[in-house]
Structure 1
Amino acid sequence: MTPETARPYVDVLPAVATALAAGRPVVALESTIITHGMPYPQNSVMAANVEKIILGEGATPATIAVVGGRIKIGLSDGEREALAVATGPMKLSRADLAYAVAEGRTGGTTVAATMICAHMAGIRVFATGGIGGVHKGAEESFDVSADLDELARTPVIVVSAGAKAILDIEKTLEVLETRGVPVVAAGSDVMPAFWSRESPYRAPLRVDDPKAIARLFAARKALGLGGGMLIANPVPESDEIPAGEMAGYIEVAYRAAQEQRVAGKAVTPFLLAKILELTDGASLKTNIALVENNARLAARIAKAL
């Protein structure tokens, strides 16, 4: 549960607090997908629908964000809508989470920051779209997401459609292996590539059932193995964009980013927006479908724990 020292900075939505106190399943949700990942109003509609999906699966959703310096474990409908239209929200990771709290700022939580806050609240499962990872050209830019280190240190199950396909998936897998993070594909022998069901890379581990994921998490805890787990859940076949088609869009988007000298935290939002433009909105539809799919699996895992 929330440490005593953190409680003055944390607000837990009553429905979430009740579920946690009763030992009922709760699923955390990130908020950079709302603040930086999708345009309005699709971000707002998506966020509301994902919460409804989790409720329909018999779990309680807890969208996490920082609002006016308060860490929110679960958002009201009004808070979620306000976040969807917020002007200039921060994109928060481990490095600047406390800054936002101290300075009374508002921001969306990345995978890393959401894991920190979920663990702080006693939530063990978290659904997202895709994790951050090693960016292409990282051998020169050193652009590696803090999500990877967080997966190695914070004991939360993260359900995603793999690493975002704009990243170097092969190097991302190598870093996760080095950090000792179990990478488990759900019902597949190969890693998904966010918008696409398959990448060229074999999945390190495979499970076919939420109960098996829960058993693995319990075994890691019993053995004293710290850190989280990454569950790579392929987007439904009817919603995917083939990897070969996406590769062309990603290449064009990267060239545009380089030409405009986009760097740091601005890279991922820029690439996603450019790909949305290039695909005439198809990438957004797939993104929404994969988030919904991940929410369903996360709720089932939470129930199995």
Structure 2
Amino acid sequence: MALEPSALPFQQIVSEDIGTKLESHQVLAPDLSHLFIADTSLCPTIRNMSLTWDELVSMDMNVNRECVTLSRFYLDHEDEYIGRVLPDYPRRVQGLSHEDIGLIFNNLLRCANALKMCETAIYLAIDIVHRILTQISIGKTSPYLLATALFVAQKVEPSQLGILPASRLLTKLFGENNTHFTSADLYGNEIVLLHYLDFHVETITSYHYVKFFSNAAGFTVQQKSLLHYLTQMCAMNPESYKYKPSALTAAGVVLVNEVFGLPRWTEKLHFFTTYSPEMLVSERDFILSTWVHITKLAQDDHPPAVFVKFSSHYFGNVSSLLSPIM
């Protein structure tokens, strides 16, 4: 990458896999309905009610203390992270169309999947590339940018296969003429990339809400995978930065409920997500249009990487599910 270093403030990189640490200590219990009133705009939520842990345990939901604590933190602080990428992106980026950007993120996901990266690292790498693209003009394949973003993300969330030992794999993905980089190239580009990020690598994405909102909805594994599919395809779309990650994930819950013929919303979902369907119309339309677009692209000889990924048995082949009519 032809990048110029800028300021050098330092911020410690967050190293916990906060998107995948929420599995243990599931608790079951009775009904929540006595806490709710007819007007959902006045209903309590985890943001506007100060509940004790015993009160949370008494609710009819699988929940654990860390999950609730982290979700409250995400909801309270996500504005600080989405403000890094302004909604007028990518119009400020010279020389890149939506199709060009789509190709960049398709290649990023192909590489991340081949490296067997965890989902938190994938979303982090996606966010890093978005933030870099808001500041500089990059070529259409951008192998150096993608390799460096994956390299940085792997330092936060280690993968089964490191980017340096995988240089042959990247050559296969990008072609011989695009991947003549060495360890010195990666380390040098890492410093420049971090300068552009002001050394703020940590982020909050839609994926941080997938597990919590899925539990609140009572989703099966396949339904949760569909929600994950919707959030990942949207994360690679620059338009996603017009919306809060929590709102996009909640709108994804609405669509999953529609696809599986479930009740569109519940009081429990309002309490734990802080949203109602009426608040999520724009987000639902955005996800639905993205879903329809990805499904159409999948009819080509080279379907998008996100479609291929979620067509696997591991994800319940959820990419084969048809979207509701817009």
TM-score, length-scaled by structure 1: 0.27
Q: Pick the structure with greater CA Rg.
A: 2
Greater fraction of residues in strand:
1
Q: Which has the higher helix share?
A: 2
Higher relative contact order (CA 8 A, sep 6+): 2
